[in-house]
Amino acid sequence: MLSLMLRFSILLFLLFWQCQPSQIPETYRFDPITVIQFPANAPPAFPQSFFPETSKFIQSSEFKTSHIHTKEAFLLLETEESFADIQKRIELRASQGDWKLIEKNTKDSEVFYLLEGYIKKSLSISLTSHGKTNQMRFYFKKHSTY
C-alpha cells in the first residue's frame, strides 16, 4: 500500500512539474536573424541604462548585417518597478545627450517614446501597465551602414 501511494505521489509530482512554464532560454537562428525566448541578456544594441534594475527578459530578436553590426533589434521585458519610476528613468536618460527624445505619446495606461541617437540610430520604447507588473518593448533600428 505504501509503495503504491509513493508511486502515485511521484507520478503526480512529475506531471505537475512538467506542466510548469519553462523559463529556459530557447534560441532560433535564421542566418542574419536570431530570436530568443526568455533571453539571459538583452541584445547589445540596446543601451542598458534604459532598463529597470529588476527586469525579466521575455523575448528578443536581432537582425545583423554582419557578425557584429546590428541593423534592427527587438526586446520585450517585464518589471515590477513603478510606472512613474520607469518614465523618470527614460526621460532622465534621454536628457543626457547621446539619445535625443523626439516624441512622447501617452494613451490610457501606455506611454510611447521615440528617441534618436548618433549615426542615424532610432530607439522606440513602449511602456504598458499591467497592474502589478509593467511591460516594456524596445525597438532599435540603425539607418546607416556605419
- Domain boundaries in the chain? 24-142
Q: CA-to-CA distance for 71 and 119, rounded, in angstroms?
A: 12
pTM over 0.85: no
Domain boundaries 24-142, corresponding CATH code: 3.40.1000
Nine-digit cell string for 3: 509503495
pLDDT of residue 145: 65
pLDDT of 10 higher than 60: no
pLDDT digits (tens, 9 = 90+) for 53-90: 888 999 999 988 877 788 899 999 999 999 999 999 99
Nine-digit cell string for 7: 508511486
Q: How far is CA 58 from CA 9, 24, 28, 105, in A?
A: 33, 11, 14, 24
